[in-house]
């Protein structure tokens, strides 16, 4: 045990952000480092989800996922260190867990930057993410992967699957909608000779479905008098306007013309 204590003490000397918080908690203060706090507050969880694909080589990320080379990472932000029963953690990691350590944002940021330096003797072979924004994005997404995401002062939970658009896209989309859709779907989406694009009927039909499905349908079959005649950027702006009609608020991220991104976004009403 003495050797383990020495190793853990040395890890604290090397990385000042490595701290042990006793007792489980579902809330954390904002990171003490103002720069880290700002990165987390401005993080792009959708970008973090794409980065998470690197983790799936060794970890599962879904609730109840199996242990692979590494333990399951669902609900990891704020979780106890070394929480997976039966997993062969390194002595250093196990000692942090036994001391009541939790995966704080500071610790995750440091560990993702350099696992081997942050927790000396770790068995995690990943070299680390050098990009500060990449680490913040990944942490932001991991934080959403929880039935009860940990509260973090100054950093609201952002649903990585929520449809997004910028205000200018909806503003331009209103004009494109009027030129290409309004005659059949009604001047403001309420329906006419074609189904409504807002309200209970539209929401019941599209709730839970991906934004890609609507984008691809529009790309293939619209407008009715010239199927496939709309450019992708024009479709993106029309759909931004449809999102606005259905109560989605504009944000800092644009509606992207990117199948991989649109397949991750789901209508939720």
Domains of the chain are 2-152 (1.10.760.10), 167-262 (1.10.760.10)
Q: What is the pLDDT of residue 40?
A: 83
Question: What angle do the packed helices 2-14 and 91-98 form, to 10 degrees?
Answer: 90
Q: What is the gyration radius of the CA atoms in the chain, in angstroms?
A: 23
> Please, which residues have CB within 8 angstroms of residue 53's CB and are 6 or more apart in sequence?
none
Query: What CA–CA distance (Å, rounded) separates 182 from 245?
Result: 13
Q: What is the pTM of this model?
A: 0.54
- Phi-psi region for residue 9, left (φ > 0), alpha (ψ -120 to 50) or beta? alpha
- For residue 269, what pLDDT is reported? 84
pLDDT band, residue 90 (cuts 50/70/90) = very high
In the prediction, which pLDDT does 5 show?
Answer: 32
Query: What pLDDT, in 10s, does the model give residues 65-85?
Result: 999 999 999 999 999 999 999
Residue 116 has pLDDT above 70, yes or no: yes
| The residue count for the chain | 269
16-58 per-position pLDDT tens digit: 333 333 333 456 666 777 788 888 888 888 889 899 999 999 9
146 or 131: which leads in pLDDT = 131
Specify the residue for token string 């997993």: 87
Q: Which residues of 5-34 are buried (b: 16+ CB within 10 A; e: fewer)?
A: eebbeebeeebebbebbeeeeeebebbeee
């Amino acid at each position: 045990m003495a050797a383990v204590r020495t190793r853990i003490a040395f890890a604290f000397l090397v990385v000042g952000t490595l701290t042990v918080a006793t007792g489980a908690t579902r809330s954390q203060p904002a990171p003490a480092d103002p720069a880290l706090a700002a990165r987390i507050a401005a993080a792009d969880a959708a970008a973090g989800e794409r980065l998470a694909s690197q983790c799936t080589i060794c970890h599962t990320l879904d609730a109840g996922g199996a242990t692979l080379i590494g333990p399951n990472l669902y609900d990891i932000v704020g979780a106890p260190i070394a929480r997976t029963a039966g997993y062969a953690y390194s002595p250093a990691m196990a000692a942090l867990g036994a001391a009541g350590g939790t995966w704080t944002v500071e610790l995750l940021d440091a560990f993702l930057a350099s696992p081997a330096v942050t927790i000396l003797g770790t068995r995690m072979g990943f070299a680390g993410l050098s990009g500060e924004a990449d680490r913040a994005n990944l942490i932001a997404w991991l934080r959403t992967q929880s039935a009860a995401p940990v509260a973090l002062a100054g950093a609201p939970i952002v649903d990585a699957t929520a449809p997004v658009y910028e205000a200018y896209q909806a503003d331009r989309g209103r004009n494109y909608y009027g030129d290409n859709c309004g005659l059949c779907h009604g001047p403001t989406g309420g329906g006419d000779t074609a189904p409504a694009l807002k309200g209970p009927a539209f929401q019941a039909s599209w709730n839970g479905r991906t934004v890609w499905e609507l984008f691809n349908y529009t790309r293939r079959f619209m407008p009715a008098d010239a199927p496939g005649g709309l450019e992708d950027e024009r479709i993106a702006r029309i759909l931004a306007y449809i999102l606005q009609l259905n109560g989605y608020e504009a944000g800092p991220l644009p509606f992207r013309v990117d199948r991989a991104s649109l397949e991750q976004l789901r209508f939720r009403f």
